[in-house]
């Protein structure tokens, strides 16, 4: 994607190294998500009708006026993506070898950048050349390569963000926009028990509460964009679900069509009444986020050819019928953080329904996708989705 105004250029990127970089934490187990920033951040501003020069600088706080537009009107959007250690480096470190270079991989970064551009356009933010941004992103990841954990399933979480910097209470399109990237090392959402195969992650199925009144997204709204405001609205409903013992909320549309679970895309696998296996998920009609993990799973399942993939409106009543008739195979959320989150129980209209949650990849599309995607992300399985960086 190109911008209506000239883009910033990766050739103009400057780097100022942090003289006192913080060390990589000894363990990421139990560390709250997104609380340990790395030594640097990427920043570029749009101001006075033009993009400035991009820079990698030491991580530091921003200084904002109390009038700053983003504080009052939520003019911000973001992306969630990760950088992974290549399996070659993981194996070397496990053997006690010292790395002379570092091999780091990005997973489908072009998809995240395209989605960021779409979100920015919805906020009337200026665009930029996606390839130039990806080059800057890659350089930033190389600078922060020491913070990429050298363990399978671990990663460096990357948060590209854009927000309005104007010091004005007027709800007008932004004239000053800042785009930045920060990073934080993270472990997998689920950890293997002591002594277990490090690739044998324990994926714990969760309980869902179907939300019957509140709506996360609606036709013509912003559900298909990754805007900060989309994550604020559901907070109360999500906390009410937690108080009742449910991990996530299953969001429905106006006609009880299934949309998303929490902040993840949602997928069901069931048998039709004719005995055929189907994978169904909500269509990209603007009400659900076009997830990169979602797209990856749909492509993999189509390649495997063991189930028919349908992107269509389906309803909570369809799910209940499949459960009651013994046709439900599994259902799960999917996204960058956990890749897949299986479901074991669905609560709807005061009744709880047990949901099958197969525990092996032979019988679970979710678990097969989890292993396949992890292997691609770390370079154990070659695929064009993985971009290798060497620093």
Q: What is the DSSP string of 245-304?
A: T-SEEEEE-TTSBEEEETTEEEEEEEE-TTS-EEEEE---SSSS---HHHHHHHHHHHHH
Task: Give yes or no for residue 176 having a pLDDT over 70.
Answer: yes
pLDDT at 193: 47
User: Within 13 Å and on the Cβ side, how many CA atoms surround 217?
Assistant: 29
Q: Is 80 exceeded by the pLDDT of residue 201?
A: no
Is there a single domain that holds both residue 80 and residue 216?
no
Q: What is the CATH number of the domain that holds 181?
A: 3.30.470.10
Q: Rounded CA gap, 386 and 226, in Å?
A: 23
Tally the C-alpha atoms within 13 A of residue 47's C-alpha that lie toward its C-beta. 13
Kindly state whether residues 132 and 227 are assigned to the same domain.
no
pLDDT (0 to 100) of residue 190: 57
Q: Name the packing angle between helices 130-143 and 109-122 (round to 10°).
A: 120
Mean pLDDT throughout 298-322?
Answer: 98
- Is 193 a member of any domain? no
Q: At what angle do helices 292-304 and 109-122 cross, to 10 degrees?
A: 130
pLDDT of the residue at 191? 52
Domain range for 179 is 10-187
Angle between helices 292-304 and 365-377 (to 10 degrees): 110
Are 382 and 244 in contact, with CB atoms under 8 Å apart?
no
The verdict on residue 71 lying in a domain is yes
- In this predicted structure, the answer to whether residue 192 has a pLDDT above a threshold of 70 is no
At residue 355, does pLDDT exceed 60?
Answer: yes
Report the pLDDT value the prediction gives residue 187, as an integer from 0 to 100. 87
3-state percent breakdown (helix, strand, coil) of the chain, nearest 5: 25, 30, 45
Please tell me which residue, 190 or 304, carries the higher pLDDT value.
Answer: 304
Residue written as tokens 């990005």?
Answer: 106
Q: Are 281 and 308 in contact (CB under 8 A)?
A: no
Is the predicted pLDDT of residue 323 greater than 70, yes or no? yes
Q: Do 212 and 175 fall into the same domain?
A: no
Selection from 182, 180, 184, 183 nearest residue 43 by Cα: 180
Tell whether 341 and 276 lie within a shared domain. yes
Please report, for the domain that includes residue 216, its CATH number: 3.20.10.10
**For all residues of the chain together, what is the average pLDDT?**
94
Answer whether 163's CB lies under 8 Å from 199's CB: no
Does residue 199 register a pLDDT over 80? Answer: no
Query: Do 229 and 145 sit in the same domain of this protein?
Result: no
User: What pLDDT, on the 0 to 100 scale, is given for residue 197?
Assistant: 52
Structural domain contains residue 282: yes
Q: Tell me, what's the pLDDT at 202?
A: 65
Q: Which of 123, 157, 187 is the last residue of a domain?
A: 187
Q: Which helix (H) or strand (E) holds 318?
A: helix 316-324
Task: Decide if 369 contacts 302 (C-beta within 8 A).
Answer: no
From 72, 54, 53, select the one nearest 64 (Cα to Cα).
72
**Spatial separation of the C-alpha atoms in residues 333 and 227, rounded to whole Å:** 20
pLDDT at 359: 87
Q: Kindly report, residue by residue over 76-117, the tens digit of the pLDDT.
A: 999 999 999 999 999 999 999 999 999 999 999 999 999 999
Q: Is residue 197 part of a domain?
A: no
Same domain membership, residue 219 and residue 144:
no
Q: How many whole angstroms separate alpha carbon 88 and alpha carbon 204?
A: 29
Full-model pTM: 0.94
Q: What is the mean pLDDT of residues 312-337?
A: 97
Class of residue 99 by CB neighbours under 10 A (exposed 0-12, middle 13-18, buried 19+): middle
The full DSSP string for 127-172 is ---HHHHHHHHHHHHHHTGGGS-SSTT-EEEEEEEEEE--B-SS-P
pLDDT tens for each residue of 47-64 = 999 999 999 999 999 999
Q: What is the mean pLDDT of residues 227-249?
A: 97
Residues in the chain: 391
Alpha carbon distance 296, 302 (integer Å)? 10
| Claim to verify: residue 78 and residue 133 sit in the same structural domain | yes
At 279, give phi and psi (nearest 5°): -110, 125
At residue 29 the predicted structure's pLDDT band, cuts being 50, 70 and 90, is confident
* pLDDT tier for residue 138 given thresholds of 50, 70 and 90: very high
**Which pLDDT tens digit goes with each residue over 258-279?**
999 999 999 999 999 999 999 9
Q: How many domains does the chain have?
A: 2
Residue 34 sits in the same domain as residue 158:
yes
Residue 307 inside a domain? The answer is: yes
pLDDT at 32: 85
Q: How far apart are CA 177 and CA 390, in angstroms?
A: 31
Residues 89 and 144 in one domain: yes
What's the mean pLDDT in 182-209? 73
Residue 201 maps to a domain: no
Percent of the residues in the chain that have a pLDDT greater than 90, as a whole number: 89
Q: Say if CB 279 and CB 287 are below 8 A apart.
A: no
- Has residue 136 been placed in a domain? yes
Q: Which of 358, 364, 371 is nearest to 306 (CA)?
A: 364
**Distance between CA atoms of residues 99 and 151, nearest Å:** 14
Considering the chain, what percentage of its residues have pLDDT values greater than 70? 96
The answer on pLDDT for 183 being more than 50 is: yes
Same domain, 221 and 141: no
Is the pLDDT confidence value at 195 over 70? no
Query: Does a structural domain hold residue 390?
Result: no
Domain identity same for 180 and 213: no
- Residues 123, 179: one domain? yes
């Amino acid at each position: 994607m190109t911008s209506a105004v000239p883009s910033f250029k990766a050739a103009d990127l400057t780097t100022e190294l942090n003289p006192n970089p913080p060390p990589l934490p000894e363990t990421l187990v139990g560390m709250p998500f997104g609380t340990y920033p790395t030594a640097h951040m990427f920043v570029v501003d749009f101001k006075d009708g033009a993009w400035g020069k991009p820079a990698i600088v030491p991580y530091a706080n921003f200084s904002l006026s109390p009038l700053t537009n983003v504080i009052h009107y939520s003019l911000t959007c973001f992306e969630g993506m990760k950088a992974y250690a290549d399996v070659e480096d993981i194996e070397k470190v496990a053997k006690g070898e010292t790395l002379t270079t570092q091999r780091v991989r990005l997973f489908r970064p072009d998809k995240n950048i395209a989605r960021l551009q779409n979100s920015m356009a919805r906020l009337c933010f200026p665009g930029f050349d996606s390839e130039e941004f990806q080059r800057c992103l890659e350089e930033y990841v190389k600078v922060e390569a020491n913070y990429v954990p050298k363990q399978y399933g671990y990663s460096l979480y990357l948060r590209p963000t854009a927000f309005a910097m104007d010091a004005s209470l007027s709800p007008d399109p932004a004239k000053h926009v800042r785009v930045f990237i920060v990073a934080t090392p993270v472990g997998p959402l689920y950890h293997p028990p002591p002594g277990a195969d490090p690739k044998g992650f324990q994926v714990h199925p969760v309980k869902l509460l179907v939300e019957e009144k509140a709506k996360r997204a609606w036709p013509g709204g912003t559900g298909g964009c990754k805007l900060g405001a989309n994550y604020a609205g559901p907070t109360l409903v999500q906390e009410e679900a937690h108080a009742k013992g449910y991990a996530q909320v299953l969001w429905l549309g106006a006609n009880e069509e299934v949309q998303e679970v929490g902040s993840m895309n949602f997928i069901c696998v069931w048998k039709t009444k004719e005995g055929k296996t189907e994978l169904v998920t909500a269509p990209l009609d603007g009400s659900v986020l076009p997830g990169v993990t979602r797209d990856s799973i749909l492509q993999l399942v189509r390649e495997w050819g063991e189930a028919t993939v349908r992107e269509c409106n389906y309803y909570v009543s369809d799910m209940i019928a499949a459960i009651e008739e013994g046709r439900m195979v599994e259902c799960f959320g999917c996204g960058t953080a956990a890749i897949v989150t299986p479901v074991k129980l669905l609560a709807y209209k005061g009744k709880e329904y047990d949901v099958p949650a197969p525990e092996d990849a032979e019988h679970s599309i979710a678990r097969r996708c989890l292993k396949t995607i992890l292997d691609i992300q770390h370079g154990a399985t070659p695929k064009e989705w993985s971009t290798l960086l060497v620093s």
